């Protein structure tokens, strides 16, 4: 059984988890780094802008081929990751409502990424051969607290 990595939790908190999400680990780390400490409503609005490609997520590592964005520096639009994190935020918001927390004043206390399993698959090639390719999985955790 998986446990949450944060042990000392705030008094009024809600938490949620997504397991085995088929997205990039590097992009997930950058998005979670950017969202940590934001209000929940601000995070939802910003992620919707990222999906529409109107706002970018700033990248701080693995910058070999990352273009600069106006007023931001190096950044990208990780749409697939943003969709899954929006789903995670909806889950934690529902959990907070269930625990009678004030949904308008929730702050992201902790959001983190763990690398999941790597699935090996084979691509058929000519003359009876095959080439392996790997798909990575990610686990997300989020903990929110009342401001």
User: What is the residue whose two structure tokens read 């409502």?
Assistant: 97
Percent of the chain residues topping a pLDDT of 90: 83
Report the CATH number that the domain containing residue 62 is assigned in CATH. Answer: 3.90.470.10
In Å, what is the CA distance from 143 to each residue of 66, 72, 112?
A: 30, 27, 9
Average pLDDT (82-91) is 97
pTM of the model: 0.90
Task: Give domain status of residue 56, yes or no.
Answer: yes
Task: Give domain status of residue 31, yes or no.
Answer: yes
pLDDT band of 44, cuts 50, 70, 90: very high
Task: Give domain status of residue 35, yes or no.
Answer: yes
Q: pLDDT at residue 2 above 80? A: no
Q: What tokens does 124 get? A: 């058929």
* pLDDT at residue 1 in the model: 63
Task: Give domain status of residue 78, yes or no.
Answer: yes
Task: Give domain status of residue 111, yes or no.
Answer: yes
d(CA 55, CA 38): 16
Average pLDDT, the chain: 93
Task: Give domain status of residue 75, yes or no.
Answer: yes
Q: What tokens does 132 get? A: 């392996």
Q: How many CB atoms lie within 10 A of CB 56?
A: 22
35-39, 42-46, 47-51, 69-73: segment of lowest average pLDDT: 69-73
Give me the number of domains the chain comprises.
1
Task: Give domain status of residue 6, yes or no.
Answer: no
Cβ atoms of 87 and 81 closer than 8 Å: no
* pLDDT at residue 69 in the model: 84
* Segments forming the whole domain that contains residue 127: 13-146
Task: Give domain status of residue 38, yes or no.
Answer: yes
């Amino acid at each position: 059984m998986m446990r949450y990595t944060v042990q000392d939790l705030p008094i009024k908190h809600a938490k949620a988890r997504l397991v085995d999400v088929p997205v990039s680990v590097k992009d997930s780390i950058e998005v979670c780094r950017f969202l940590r400490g934001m209000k929940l409503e601000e995070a939802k609005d910003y992620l919707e802008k990222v999906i529409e490609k109107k706002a970018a997520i700033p990248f701080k590592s693995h910058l070999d081929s990352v273009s600069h964005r106006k007023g931001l520096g190096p950044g990208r639009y990780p749409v697939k990751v943003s969709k899954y994190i929006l789903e995670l935020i909806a889950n934690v918001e529902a959990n907070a409502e269930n625990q009678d927390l004030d949904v308008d004043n929730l702050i992201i206390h902790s959001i983190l990424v763990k690398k999941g399993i790597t699935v090996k698959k084979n691509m058929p090639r000519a003359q009876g051969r095959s080439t392996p390719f790997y798909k990575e999985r990610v686990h997300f955790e989020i903990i929110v607290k009342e401001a």
